[in-house]
Structure 1
């Protein structure tokens, strides 16, 4: 089935503004969105949303309505993408990513870790998280920073996707990790990645649609909570997430556009957490908070 790209052409600043609107409207539903520089000299960028052909009429209408107020008169352009095995194609260009002491690589780069590095093998697949997105790399960097400074016994990887963050934390230290996702396909993929990385124990994987799941009570409270999701659900779950945190605990949040940072911080400050630092990568931020006062 052919994939369609709907996009607008604009400046970098306006493309980032469009991306923020598109994130709220489309990303929770699983649609891919992106910005791309077309002409550096003349500041020409594209902001795109991707869908399959039968979905195009509905998404085109919603995209136009979304842009109407802030982008009056902008032309929505259309591209039909060829049927390509994008997973195989993406693997050709995925190079190892280094963050902290971690190196995340695909099976095609097995053996790439240098002395002292912790290798995590993740191939592009059905679940989000190969380490190449700025949010995942930012989380890896903060995980390493937190765990080298303090002892963590129990960690939660909320919205685990491919399992990359849970695997990294478990490889860094012999801790107990609960990895959850609302999508059973993600849990299946993460379980296979745990096996692929030679982890026999220490990671519990469960499908959990929300904090009302019994999994959190059985495995918590948590010294470290990692949630690489999206800004809106992160803000909504702030009180519940804070309640699952052990005393003197740390929280790592990502999946947050730079423009959304202050809203997320306000939600977690309101839940009693303290901002420690923010890491910026490729227009996205990773936020480290704790409940130490």
Structure 2
């Protein structure tokens, strides 16, 4: 298994007007490819790594390349391959979306004129192959939590753990946050997030890092956002660094997970300001730490 560097700053050169590929050809592999393994691939779109598995995305069938590459890597095994449209991969068409006061616009639909009114915030977002377009209930709740917090608190810095497409970090800066650190352990997600930072012209305010949430919890910020796997989140809450944040948003929790998190929070000097419950399935917490000194 290749060694992961855990604190890599991401850079890229986004193509603002690129329309997503209509068809996707996906190769599901057991094992992680070494760095540079796909550099010579034609029509390659990206590699999504999850635990000890890889998903290679191409815009055209690439059986020959994948077979040849696997033949040189004894620890890599092809498990399956899929063909689907870009819209099928995301579950719906990627189009302009209004969520509360945010207008989330894919770059290929961006008009020359400004679409936002005086009390709205425009976000240019290209999800690429990464989930996090604003349609998921937990993302909606996090955006609402940001709005709730901003109208009653002064937030100058945030730490966004499990940033995905970078949507929440971008939304926070659009609201007036001066600086944000956006972190994702998935390299493809981190690259996608930085592309969206560039599309919104926020390179000077948002730093995107490829790294582990656990290793970046000590970065001082007014607000910590964690829309991340429960197994990671429960460990973050148990760290001393958790109580250094003035505010926190915890999301992406199913009912049983939310109950466990609520029990954890009851044992800490924190106050829950608001909770969201989407049809009894997805749960989000907005809270503040209590200064005991």
Deviations 1:118-170 (A, max 9, x none): 01121232323111111111101101111221111211001111111101101
1:243 to 2:241 alignment: yes
CA RMSD after TM alignment = 3.2
Mapped to 2, the partners of 1:30 and 1:278 lie a distance apart of 35
Mapped to 2, the partners of 1:204 and 1:281 lie a distance apart of 31
Partner residue in 2 for 1:281 = 278
Partner residue in 2 for 1:101 = 101
Rate the CA distance shift 1:115–1:88 in 2: closer, same or farther, 3 A: farther
Give runs of aligned pairs for residues 117-136 of structure 1, distance below 5 A: 117-136=120-139
Rate the CA distance shift 1:173–1:29 in 2: closer, same or farther, 3 A: farther
Mapped to 1, the partners of 2:149 and 2:123 lie a distance apart of 18
Mapped to 2, the partners of 1:136 and 1:266 lie a distance apart of 23
Relative to total residues, which structure has the larger helix share, 1 or 2?
A: 1
If the length of structure 2 is used for normalisation, what is the TM-score? 0.65
Unaligned runs of 5+ residues in structure 1 are 5-26, 32-52, 57-80
Q: For the Cα contact (< 8 Å) 2:155–2:223, is it kept in 1?
A: yes
Partner residue in 1 for 2:267 = 270
Q: For the Cα contact (< 8 Å) 1:100–1:145, is it kept in 2?
A: no
Rate the CA distance shift 1:210–1:3 in 2: closer, same or farther, 3 A: closer
Unaligned runs of 5+ residues in structure 2 are 1-24, 29-49, 55-76
Mapped to 2, the partners of 1:132 and 1:138 lie a distance apart of 10
Partner residue in 2 for 1:34 = none
Q: For the Cα contact (< 8 Å) 1:162–1:193, is it kept in 2?
A: yes
Rate the CA distance shift 1:2–1:181 in 2: closer, same or farther, 3 A: closer
Give runs of aligned pairs for residues 27-42 of structure 1, distance below 5 A: none
Shift of 1:272: 3.1
Residue 231 of structure 2: SS of its match in structure 1?
A: helix
Give runs of aligned pairs for residues 133-152 of structure 1, distance below 5 A: 133-152=136-155
Q: For the Cα contact (< 8 Å) 1:87–1:125, is it kept in 2?
A: no
Structure possessing the higher relative contact order (Cα contacts under 8 Å, 6 or more residues apart): 2
Rate the CA distance shift 1:174–1:255 in 2: closer, same or farther, 3 A: closer
1:255 to 2:243 alignment: no
Partner residue in 2 for 1:223 = 222
Mapped to 1, the partners of 2:179 and 2:283 lie a distance apart of 26
